[in-house]
Each structure stands twice: as structure tokens, then as C-alpha cells.
């Protein structure tokens, strides 16, 4: 494969802006950052643009076509927080440069009848082909069951272990079966024995407290049932947890649709009718919530030094999972993070280097020599105007430029 040199673009390397640099791609890797343009290479003139690492959505649920859709928006990796793309099922994805790469928890540890069963309308069946290997369903009601499932999930190819801590209060289903403290603690302790990363679904302060006290590495939502206090922020910080706020999801839960995003021509041109309808809908399960409180919590977490990661909780093109669309909603999340008080550069880190570091993806998330050539070139300067992330000029996945 010939060398490719991206020239004259400002480079945001995943941590900071490093000025105008020539970035050279050799095969699937970044060969050089800086220096002269090599002889006999393809040159991509990046004048007036910014080169970023490919974006990482830290909270998704895959659907047919969703990895291709994500890549069209410059999202080169998605982290699946419940789904089928574990190592035993994603062999073809790894080498397909028309799709975003993916890492997956497999299915989460939850009691029978627990979250997310309450989200599915009666009789609903997802419209997709079954994978080559059916995933393990780790339903657990006792500490012994949770602990026993952890090594099985890891052996079956889960990249991290997820726990559901949700009694259904926020979703309008109070009394939903939920993991108790002993069962959660046993599962987390077992995962720690294997050195496995752990995450927890938690939408309330109490569930977040349980996750922190159990030693979970990160929560995949920010709580939305009440305003933050200094005590809960300190608990999260002192536990060393990361937080994936998914403000886009919380907004949708409160009845806020993604119609404004869907009206953006930079988005509309990349969505089919089913995703357009989904984006223009909402979950609308917690209308009493306060988006201002959620944003204030995110601002406090960032100010306290907690690692904030960008994720969306995007799922299937169904209106009852509304307000979200793969790829597009990560850009929306970046806008929400900035509105909450993060600087554009900190928001960009949340979708690149910070997420890669916390999920142990040492081969991506930065524009650095030797790493995967997962790159996004956008017109403008998103370190000044976060909305410029949608000005896609080019996307590379492992050094292969996505066809326009």
C-alpha cells in the first residue's frame, strides 16, 4: 500500500492541539507525525481543516447497518454495552474497513426480568440475523451465580463485564428486579481476579453509590433522579471511576427529541428514513427529570477531575429508542458536553484519548506514530467550535479512506 501524507491540517492529537503537522499513513498505521512530505506518496491537502483521531462512542448497542453508519460520521470505534459483537462473533468486522470497529461486554449481568426487559414492547423481536454463536445470558440473583458467570463471559469473548443496577424507577417500572449489593459485589470481585474491566448501568444516585462502593471501574450513565451533591461527586472521584454521561440519552428520557440534529443537512444527508424517524422521536420515560441538573452534574464531575467519556446509548432504528442515531448522536453528545461546561478540547478527549485509555485500547484514540490510522479530517476547528466535528472531509479506518 502506498504512503499517504495529510498536509496543512491543524492536528488535535487526542490530548491537545499540536499545530499544523504532516501526518503520514503507511498501510494501517500512522508512520509519522511531523516532518517533510515523503516522495512518491498520495497527498491529501488538509488546508482549512483539523485532523482528529477517529472518534470512539463509549456506549452503544449495535443494530443491522449501525457500524457502517457510525463510520460515515467519523466514529471509528464503538463500545457495545450489551450485544452480540464479542470476540467470537466479530471476526469479519475486524478486517472490514467499511465498518466501525467494535468492542463488547456481551450481555450484562442482571436478574431474570431485570433491565432492559422493560424497554421492549410486548411481542417485539429485533430484525436482525442471529450471530454465528449465540451470546451467554448471565441472569443472576445470587452472589454465587454472578461470580460464576464472570469467567464464562470472559472465555466467550466479552471485552469487559457489565452489571445492571436498575430498579426501573427512571423507566417508569418501579419494582423491577435488580442486582442487590451482595450479588454486585461478588461479581465485581470475581472480575477483579481476572483483571477484567467492569462497568455498571446506573441511572440513580443510589445505584451509582452501589457501583462505586463495589469497586466498579466506570458507570455507563450519569444519574438523573436528583441533583448532585459534593458527597456523591467526591465518592465517584475517590473511587477512581470514569463516567459516560450519555446526556443525549438522558435528554431523550425527558422527552427531548433529536429533531434539531436531524434537521442539520450535515446529518440528514447520511441518515435513511428509519434513522431519521428514530432521531426525531424520544424515549419520553422520565419527563420530570431536569436536563439542567444533569449538565450541572457533568460539569461538577469534570471539575473534580473525574474522567468523563463521550457515549450515547444509541441502539436500534425504532422510535421507542428515539432521539438517537449511530454516529450522528456522538457529535450531539460532544455539543452537550460543551454546553455542560467542558471545553471543546476536553470534550474531544472524551471521544478519543480518554476513552481509549480507560478501555485499555492502547492502539487508537490518538494521532501518534505506530498507532492505528483511524482518523477524521473535518473542515474548521472543533477545538474552537465543537459543531465543526460534523464538517466531515475524510475518514480513515486502519489507513483505508472511506469512500464518499
Residue-range domain boundaries for the chain = 1-54+365-403, 55-363
Contact 216, 236 (CB under 8 A): no
Q: HSE of 214 in the Cβ direction (CA atoms, 13 Å)? A: 33
pTM as predicted: 0.97
Average pLDDT, whole number, for the chain? 96
Q: How many CB atoms lie within 10 A of CB 136?
A: 16
Nearest Cα to 105, choosing from 58, 63, 153?
A: 153
Helix, coil or strand: residue 95:
coil
pLDDT per residue as tens digits for the range 83-127? 999 999 999 999 999 999 999 999 999 999 989 888 877 777 776
Q: Provide φ and ψ at 320, rounded to 5°.
A: -75, -5
H or E segment at 57?
Answer: strand 55-60
Query: In CATH, which superfamily holds the domain spanning 1-54+365-403?
Result: Urease, subunit C, domain 1 (2.30.40.10)
For the 55-363 domain, the top CATH level (class) is: alpha beta
Percent of the chain exceeding pLDDT 70 equals 99
DSSP string, 285-305: S-TT--HHHHHHHHHHHHHTT
Do 55-363 and 1-54+365-403 fall under one CATH topology? no
- Whether residue 136 contacts residue 150, with contact meaning beta carbons closer than 8 Å, is answered with no
Helices then strands, each counted (H, E), the chain: 14, 15
Residue 400, CA distances (Å) to 67, 100, 285, 376 in order: 16, 12, 41, 12
User: What is the average pLDDT across 46-54?
Assistant: 98
49 is written with which cell numbers? 481543516
Give the cell for residue 77.
Answer: 470505534
Beta bridge mates, 109? 163
Q: What percent of the chain has pLDDT over 90?
A: 94
Residues in the chain: 404
Q: Can you give the pLDDT at residue 122?
A: 74
Report pLDDT for 121. 75
Question: How far is the C-alpha of 334 from the C-alpha of 323, rounded, in Å?
Answer: 15
Does the pLDDT of residue 1 top 70, yes or no? no
The alpha carbons of the chain give a radius of gyration, in whole angstroms, of 20
> Nearest 5°: phi and psi at 337?
-60, -40
Amino acid at each position: 500500500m502506498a504512503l499517504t501524507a495529510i498536509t496543512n491540517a491543524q492536528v488535535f492529537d487526542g490530548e491537545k492541539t499540536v499545530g499544523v503537522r504532516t501526518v503520514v499513513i503507511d498501510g494501517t498505521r500512522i508512520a509519522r507525525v511531523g516532518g517533510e512530505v515523503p516522495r512518491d506518496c498520495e497527498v491529501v491537502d488538509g488546508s482549512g481543516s483539523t485532523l482528529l483521531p477517529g472518534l470512539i462512542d463509549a456506549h452503544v448497542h449495535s443494530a443491522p447497518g449501525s457500524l457502517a453508519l457510525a463510520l460515515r460520521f467519523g466514529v471509528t470505534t464503538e463500545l457495545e454495552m450489551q450485544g452480540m459483537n464479542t470476540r467470537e462473533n466479530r471476526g469479519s468486522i475486524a478486517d472490514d474497513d467499511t465498518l466501525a470497529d467494535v468492542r463488547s461486554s456481551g450481555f450484562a449481568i442482571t436478574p431474570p426480568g431485570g433491565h432492559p426487559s422493560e424497554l421492549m414492547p410486548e411481542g417485539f423481536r429485533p430484525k436482525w440475523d442471529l450471530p454465528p454463536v449465540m451470546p451467554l445470558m448471565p441472569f443472576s440473583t445470587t452472589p454465587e451465580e454472578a461470580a460464576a458467570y464472570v469467567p464464562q463471559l470472559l472465555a466467550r469473548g466479552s471485552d469487559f463485564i457489565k452489571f445492571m443496577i436498575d430498579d426501573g424507577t427512571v423507566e417508569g417500572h418501579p419494582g423491577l428486579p435488580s442486582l442487590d449489593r451482595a450479588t454486585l459485589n461478588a461479581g465485581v470481585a470475581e472480575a477483579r481476579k481476572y483483571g477484567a474491566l467492569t462497568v455498571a448501568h446506573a441511572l440513580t444516585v443510589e445505584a451509582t453509590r452501589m457501583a462505586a462502593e463495589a469497586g466498579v471501574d466506570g458507570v455507563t450513565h450519569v444519574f438523573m433522579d436528583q441533583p448532585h451533591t459534593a458527597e456523591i461527586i467526591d465518592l465517584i472521584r475517590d473511587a477512581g471511576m470514569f463516567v459516560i454521561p450519555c446526556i443525549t440519552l438522558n435528554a431523550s428520557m425527558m422527552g427531548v427529541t433529536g429533531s434539531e440534529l436531524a434537521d442539520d443537512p450535515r446529518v440528514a444527508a447520511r441518515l435513511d428514513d428509519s434513522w431519521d424517524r428514530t432521531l426525531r422521536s424520544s424515549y419520553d420515560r422520565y419527563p420530570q427529570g431536569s436536563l439542567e441538573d444533569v449538565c450541572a452534574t457533568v460539569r461538577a464531575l469534570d471539575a473534580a477531575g473525574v474522567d468523563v467519556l463521550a457515549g450515547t446509548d444509541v441502539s436500534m432504528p425504532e422510535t421507542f429508542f428515539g432521539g438517537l442515531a449511530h454516529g450522528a448522536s456522538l457529535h450531539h453528545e460532544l455539543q452537550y458536553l460543551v454546553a455542560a461546561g467542558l471545553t471543546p478540547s476536553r470534550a474531544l478527549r472524551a471521544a478519543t484519548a480518554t476513552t481509549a485509555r480507560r478501555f485499555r485500547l492502547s492502539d487508537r484514540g490518538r494521532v501518534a506514530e505506530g498507532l492505528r490510522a483511524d482518523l477524521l479530517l473535518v473542515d474548521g476547528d472543533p477545538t474552537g467550535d465543537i459543531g465543526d466535528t460534523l464538517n466531515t472531509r475524510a475518514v480513515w479506518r486502519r489507513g483505508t479512506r472511506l469512500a464518499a
